[in-house]
């Protein structure tokens, strides 16, 4: 009897899966993300990936795997990130295109770059810090024509030029046009050389390319600006993540768990595919809860990459010994300018790598 029940449940499971268009699609479409990205770059110059939570680190394993491929160093060579300021570009280039740097020199230069990465007092996300160092060591072993360039898209800013709160407040007013200015920075770079190709990493809504309407006003997204300017040259990719809940830090599953259950049924195999040609793309777009929309996923993103289930996403903040005695004085100055106090607890938080699993997602069961 027990054997019969087991066989019955197994049969019913097969029937359910056969009727599940998501699972069926995944079983028929098995292209690895690396191979899929290569095919996209054969057709497009600019491929934008929607970054997960800024702190999530396993996605940076994927990014590094992509830029380590021979096809990437032969035909693309550039990766553009949202976070680094345009003002730190020279230091990035000096690090990544240098010859014969020691590990200690790479670490020292990476620390300096991260201490001055953008307009925040200190960008505390571990993943990009680690990534910059890894790319520097990768480039050290490559010829000059194979080296990878990291490009910052964020607005121009230098803490050296900010002396008080009033100057910082004046700068903050310019952030109302941050997305437009980041898009312009990328556009200016791209148009400076018709042969430029780049992988672009933009976080969350910055990577949306469709037009939301609210009181007949277009929303302010880097992806939209670039898509409107380069409709045939740019494509965008959603990297599996959680969806935000409205006015809450808590997360939820996309498409009422249908996506993640299908990935689980497919043994959580890494895969990439076109949104428009899949049942995933026909679901209502539910990644941004603050504007009501009838858009479907394929209206906002061209492609989807599944890489690691949500249960395996790992967040990380802090960098080991990023704050020495000299930089501590500067960081205290920055905190005073923004109206906060740099406490010992905050220093301890920033000065050590901390790993933790995402806790905002409920169980998939």
Strand order of the β-sheet with 271-274 is 149-154, 78-85, 198-203, 46-51, 234-239, 303-306, 271-274
Q: What is the pLDDT of residue 176?
A: 94
Token pair recorded at residue 135: 């790319």
In a domain, 182, yes or no: yes
In a domain, 315, yes or no: yes
In a domain, 277, yes or no: yes
Distance of CA 315 to the CA centre of its chain: 13
Using DSSP's 3-state secondary structure scheme, residue 234 falls into: strand
In a domain, 71, yes or no: yes
CA dist 296 → 16, 188, 206, 212, 284 (Å)? 25, 31, 18, 12, 4
Q: How many domains would you assign to the chain?
A: 1
Element (H, E) at 115: helix 103-115
Residue 153 contacts residue 118 (beta carbons within 8 Å): no
CA dist 329 and 309 (Å) reads 41
For 85-99, 212-226, 231-245, 300-314, which range has the lowest pLDDT when averaged over its residues? 212-226
pLDDT, one tens digit per residue, over 298-355 is: 999 999 999 999 999 999 999 999 999 999 999 999 999 999 999 999 999 999 999 9
Distance of CA 11 to the CA centre of its chain: 41
Q: Which residues are registered as beta bridge partners of 354?
A: 317
Residue 58 contacts residue 357 (beta carbons within 8 Å): no
pLDDT, one tens digit per residue, over 256-281 is: 999 999 999 999 999 999 999 999 99
In a domain, 8, yes or no: no
CA dist 43 and 146 (Å) reads 21
Residues in the chain: 365
Q: What is the pLDDT of residue 362?
A: 67
For residue 161, give every residue at least 6 positions away whose Cβ sits within 8 Å of its Cβ, in sequence order, or none.
167
The pTM of this model reads 0.93
CA dist 221 and 178 (Å) reads 9
In a domain, 266, yes or no: yes
Question: Residue 115's domain spans which residues?
Answer: 24-357
**360 falls in which pLDDT band (50, 70, 90)?**
low
Q: What is the pLDDT of residue 292?
A: 76
CA dist 328 and 230 (Å) reads 43
In a domain, 18, yes or no: no
Q: Which residues are registered as beta bridge partners of 243?
A: 252
- Torsions phi, psi of 116, nearest 5? -130, 35
CA dist 130 and 127 (Å) reads 5
pLDDT, one tens digit per residue, over 34-72 is: 999 999 999 999 999 999 999 999 999 999 999 999 999
pLDDT, one tens digit per residue, over 100-146 is: 999 999 999 999 999 999 999 999 999 999 999 999 999 999 999 99
In a domain, 4, yes or no: no
Locate the DSSP E strands across the chain.
46-51, 78-85, 149-154, 198-203, 213-214, 217-218, 234-239, 243-244, 251-252, 271-274, 303-306, 314-317, 354-357
The alpha-carbon radius of gyration of the chain (Å, integer) is 22
Using DSSP's 3-state secondary structure scheme, residue 236 falls into: strand
């Amino acid at each position: 009897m027990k054997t019969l029940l087991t066989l019955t449940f197994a049969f019913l499971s097969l029937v359910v899966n056969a009727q599940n268009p998501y699972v069926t699609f995944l079983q028929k479409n098995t292209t690895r993300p690396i191979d899929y990205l290569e095919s996209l770059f054969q057709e497009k110059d600019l491929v934008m990936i929607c970054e997960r939570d800024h702190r999530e680190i396993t996605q940076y394993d994927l990014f590094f795997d992509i830029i380590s491929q021979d096809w990437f160093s032969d035909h693309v060579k550039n990766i553009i990130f949202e976070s680094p300021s345009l003002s730190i570009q020279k230091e990035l280039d000096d690090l990544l295109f240098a010859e014969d740097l020691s590990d200690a020199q790479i670490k020292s230069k990476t620390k300096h770059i991260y201490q001055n990465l953008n307009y925040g007092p200190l960008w505390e996300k571990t993943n990009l810090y680690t990534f910059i160092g890894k790319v520097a060591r990768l480039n050290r072993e490559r010829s000059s024509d194979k080296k990878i360039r990291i490009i910052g898209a964020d607005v121009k800013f230098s803490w050296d030029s900010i002396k008080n709160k009033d100057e910082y407040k004046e700068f903050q007013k310019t952030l109302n046009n941050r997305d437009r200015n980041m898009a312009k920075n990328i556009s200016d770079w791209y148009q400076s050389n018709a042969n430029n190709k780049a992988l672009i990493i933009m976080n969350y809504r910055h990577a949306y390319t469709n037009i939301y309407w609210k009181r007949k006003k277009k929303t302010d997204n880097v992806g939209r600006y670039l898509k409107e300017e380069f409709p045939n040259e740019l494509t965008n990719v959603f990297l599996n993540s959680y969806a935000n809940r409205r006015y809450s830090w808590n997360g939820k599953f996309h498409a009422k768990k249908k996506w993640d259950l299908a990935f689980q049924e497919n043994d959580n195999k890494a895969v990439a595919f076109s949104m428009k040609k899949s049942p995933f793309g026909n679901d209502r777009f539910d990644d941004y809860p603050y504007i009501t929309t009838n858009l479907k996923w394929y209206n906002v993103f061209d492609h989807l990459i599944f890489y690691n289930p949500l249960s395996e996403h790992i967040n990380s903040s802090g960098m080991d010994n990023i704050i020495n005695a000299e930089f501590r004085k500067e960081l205290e100055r920055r905190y005073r300018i923004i109206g906060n106090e740099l406490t010992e607890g905050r220093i301890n938080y920033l000065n050590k790598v901390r790993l933790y699993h995402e806790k905002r997602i409920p169980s998939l069961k």
